[in-house]
Amino acid sequence: MSRIDFQTSPDAYKHWRIEPDGEVARLVMDVDETAGLFDGYELKLNSYDLGVDIELADAIQRLRFEYPQVKTVVLASGKDKVFCAGANIRMLGGSAHSHKVNFCKFTNETRNSMEEASAESGQTYLCAVSGACAGGGYELALACDHIMLTDDGSSTVALPEVPLLAVLPGTGGLTRVTDKRKVRRDLADVFCSLEEGIRGKKAVDWRLVDEVAPASKFADAVSTRARELAARSDRPSDGEGVKLNPLTKTITENAIAYSTVSVELDRGSRIATINITGPDTPPPGEIAAAESLGDQFWPLRLARELDDALLEIRFNELEMAVVQFKSAGDPTLVLAHDDFMDSNSEHWLMRELLLYWRRVLKRVDLTSRTLAVMAEPGSCFAGTLAELLFAADRSYMADGQFEGDNRPEATIALGPLNFGAYPMSNGITRLETRFLGEPEAVAAAKAKQGDALDASAASELGLVTFAFDDIDWEDEVRIFLEERASFSPDALTGMEANLRFAGPETMETRIFGRLTAWQNWIFQRPNAVGADGALQRYGSGKRADFNMERV
pLDDT bin (cut points 50, 70, 90) of residue 551 is confident
Residue bearing the bigger pLDDT, 551 or 290 = 290
Position 148 scores a pLDDT of 98
The tens digit of pLDDT for each residue in 354-397 reads: 999 999 999 999 999 999 999 999 999 999 999 999 999 999 99
Task: Please tell me which of 1-10, 56-65, 507-516 the model is most confident about, judged by mean pLDDT.
Answer: 56-65
Q: What integer is the mean pLDDT of 535-548? A: 88
The span from the CA of 300 to the CA of 250, in Å, is 19
Position 97 scores a pLDDT of 86
Contacts of 129 (CB under 8 A, 6+ apart): 77, 83, 141, 147, 148, 149, 150, 155, 157, 209
Dihedral sign (CA 377, 381, 382, 386): negative
Half-sphere exposure at residue 144, Cβ-oriented, CA atoms within 13 angstroms = 26
* Strand partners for 128: 148
Residue bearing the bigger pLDDT, 59 or 551 = 59
Q: What's the pTM value of the predicted model, to 2 decimals?
A: 0.96
Contacts of 308 (CB under 8 A, 6+ apart): 6, 7, 247, 249, 258
Reported in sequence order, the residue ranges of 153-296 that DSSP labels E, i.e. its strands, are 156-158, 198-199, 211-213, 250-252, 255-257, 261-266, 271-277
Lowest average pLDDT, out of 30-44, 93-107, 380-394, goes to 93-107
Are 384 and 338 in contact by the 8 Å Cβ rule? The answer is yes
pLDDT bin (cut points 50, 70, 90) of residue 497 is confident
Q: Which CATH architecture has domain 10-230?
A: Alpha-Beta Complex (3.90)
The H or E element containing residue 507 is helix 507-514
Q: What integer is the mean pLDDT of 496-521? A: 86
* Domain range annotation of the chain: 10-230, 250-498
Q: What integer is the mean pLDDT of 21-49? A: 97
DSSP string, 365-387: HT-SSEEEEEE-TT---BGGGGH
The span from the CA of 467 to the CA of 500, in Å, is 21
Range 250-498 classified under CATH 3.40.50.2000: no
Q: What integer is the mean pLDDT of 301-316? A: 98
187: region left, alpha or beta (phi > 0 left; psi from -120 to 50 alpha): alpha
The span from the CA of 65 to the CA of 127, in Å, is 21
Domain 10-230 matches domain 250-498 at the CATH topology level: yes
Local structure of 437: helix, strand or coil: coil
Contacts of 1 (CB under 8 A, 6+ apart): 38, 96, 99
Give phi and psi for 234, each to the nearest 5: -105, 10
The tens digit of pLDDT for each residue in 126-146 reads: 999 999 999 999 999 999 999
pLDDT bin (cut points 50, 70, 90) of residue 1 is low
* Strand partners for 149: 129, 212
